Amino acid sequence: MTESVVIARESCVKSGATSLKKKLTTWHIALMVIATAAPLGSIIGNVPFGLIMGGPGLPTAYLIAGAVLLCFAWGYSKLVVDISGEGAFYRCIHAIFGARIGMGSAFVALFSYTALTASVASSVGYFTNLMLKGYGVDWGWQLWTAVAFVLVSVLGRFSADVGAKLLVAIIIVEFFLLVVLDASIGFQQGVAALPLEIFSPANIAKEGFGVALMIGFFSFIGFEAAALYSGETQNPHKAIPAALMIAVFSVAVFYFLSSWLIVGAAGVDQAQGAATKLEGNFVIDIFRQYTGSWVAAFTNFMLCNSIIACYISLHNAATRYAYIIAQNGSLPKILGVINPKTLAPANASIFISITVAIFIAIPAFQGADPYLTVGATTAAMATLGVIALQVIVALGIMIFYRKRKDRRVFSTLVAPGIAFVGLVIAAGLIVDNFHLLSGSESALTTSLPLLLVIVFFIGLSRRPCQSTPL
């Protein structure tokens, strides 16, 4: 066994309650991680874009991304057990590369998750208003984003198990709808529902497959959030690794199979053209064809709930990062205070809500497109930030265990090594195709990833009050 590394907990914050409420179970955490991935929202929103840009090889891209991230999760799940403390990627980078680099990475994580939260918040309003337009109601995306904002801000002031209870029902229904669609396609199409042509070299080598691969990695963003809740579960050494593997494996299987069946339903040669024509309605149209109009209408409704579930999870993740950074003295101390009644980081939650409101309000008052301006651009930038952190952690896993001569070769060298190579390629693809994911080719937009470098150096300049004895 590897000797556990403990990050010192001489918190800079002395007031208020001292510990978070420990009520989360393995399944609570797994569900929050799955909710961050938003399976239904990802399939309906990302599959059409992936098909338009990358063609029918998209399911292969999901398979590759899932395999790479399963390798990463395998090594990461061991690391979060052997490095005690809170903070997910931050605590791992802190322990392996030092406090300064750790704090720089924490600021990147906070920025990335806050940007993703703003992106999803605007998407709630956009897709809700889009759904209601079909019934003659067009009150604007801003109203529905505001409603979701209030709901999530209120939930964020309570312990994470409150939000987790709401997510249970949403996630169960999401998976049920995907199972219904997959089963309906399989039953009606037979073996033709799973065309082997998606694996052909012609489809994998097709121009735009790199974008499809980028979409595959983008769809998994958020599973590190499992480790952010180590302070809110009774047995984090068992709950966190189990939740990680359950979440990543479940999402990988559903993404791969669902996208494969959807391509089979549309036809390998017709899928790209149909997605180009229908765009966001592509998957809903397949629901309508194979499950009926009532199920399609309900799926549209659940799509909005799926995005809200993702919003809740991202808000919680960003809140925990703000709380942990404040506990280390690199953000105002008040953000590191726990509410004595709810035993939740309520002040950090308010801070994230205010920041998200600023992210959204500026383009909202300017009448900007919520999907292209607020949604796609912030999501692309944040995705790059999270993948960059995953690259550092994958490298860190190998360094950490080689120094300790750990004999678990696959868990500590092979799996993280595969993940490192795959994630570096993914980061390169995002930078190279940033204009496609952001929806803009302007010089200002394509230079936005530089903000991540600036944020990292801001964090690097901070002096955390804790040390990491190794």
Q: How far apart are CA 102 and CA 89, in angstroms?
A: 8
At 6 the pLDDT is 42
Asked whether residue 208 is domain-assigned, the answer is yes
Provide the domain limits for residue 172. 5-392+420-461
Cβ atoms 243, 251 nearer than 8 A: no
Element (H, E) at 5: strand 5-6
Nearest to 300, CA basis, from 314, 317, 281? 281
297: which residues sit within 8 A by CB, 6+ positions away? Answer: none
The segment with the largest mean pLDDT, out of 143-147, 376-380, 444-448, is 143-147
At 468 the pLDDT is 40
pLDDT digits 0-9 by tens, 58-109: 999 999 999 999 999 889 888 887 886 555 688 889 889 988 898 999 999 9
pLDDT digits 0-9 by tens, 9-33: 444 555 454 555 566 777 777 877 7
Phi/psi of residue 338, nearest 5 degrees: -95, 135
Which tokens belong to 320?
A: 């925990």
CA dihedral 7, 12, 16, 21 (to 10 degrees): -20
Asked whether residue 398 is domain-assigned, the answer is no
Cβ atoms 173, 38 nearer than 8 A: no
At 231 the pLDDT is 66
Number of structural domains found in the chain? 1
Asked whether residue 331 is domain-assigned, the answer is yes
At 71 the pLDDT is 93
DSSP string, 191-216: GGGS-GGGGSHHHHSSTTHHHHHHHH
Average pLDDT, the chain: 81
Model confidence at 157, in pLDDT bands (50, 70, 90)?
Answer: low
CATH number at residue 77: 1.20.1740.10
Cβ atoms 317, 89 nearer than 8 A: no
Average pLDDT over residues 300-329: 84
Phi/psi of residue 84, nearest 5 degrees: -80, 150
Asked whether residue 192 is domain-assigned, the answer is yes
Residue type at 40? Answer: L
Asked whether residue 203 is domain-assigned, the answer is yes
Cβ atoms 160, 232 nearer than 8 A: yes
pTM over cut 0.75? yes
Q: How far apart are CA 338 and CA 21, in angstroms?
A: 10
Asked whether residue 195 is domain-assigned, the answer is yes
Residue 133: Cβ-neighbour burial (10 angstroms; 0-12, 13-18, 19+): exposed
DSSP string, 63-119: HHHHHHHHHHHHHHHHHHHHEESS-THHHHHHHHH-HHHHHHHHHHHHHHHHHHHHH
Poorest-pLDDT segment among 17-21, 172-176, 249-253, 401-405: 17-21
Residue 79: Cβ-neighbour burial (10 angstroms; 0-12, 13-18, 19+): buried
pLDDT digits 0-9 by tens, 364-382: 777 777 766 677 777 778 8
Cβ atoms 412, 78 nearer than 8 A: yes
The HSE-up count of residue 70 (CA atoms within 13 Å, CB side) is 12
Poorest-pLDDT segment among 233-247, 260-274, 332-346, 432-446: 432-446
Q: How far apart are CA 320 and CA 348, in angstroms?
A: 7
Element (H, E) at 182: helix 160-189
Q: Over the range 266-280, which residues count as b (16 or more CB within 10 Å of their CB) and which as e? A: bebeebbebbeebeb
DSSP symbol at 41: H
Residue 318: Cβ-neighbour burial (10 angstroms; 0-12, 13-18, 19+): buried
DSSP symbol at 341: T
Asked whether residue 134 is domain-assigned, the answer is yes
Poorest-pLDDT segment among 194-208, 348-362, 428-442: 428-442
Model confidence at 444, in pLDDT bands (50, 70, 90)?
Answer: confident
At 42 the pLDDT is 84
pLDDT digits 0-9 by tens, 31-44: 777 766 778 888 98
pLDDT digits 0-9 by tens, 182-211: 999 999 999 999 999 888 888 887 777 777
Asked whether residue 128 is domain-assigned, the answer is yes
User: Quick check: 340 pLDDT over 60?
Assistant: yes
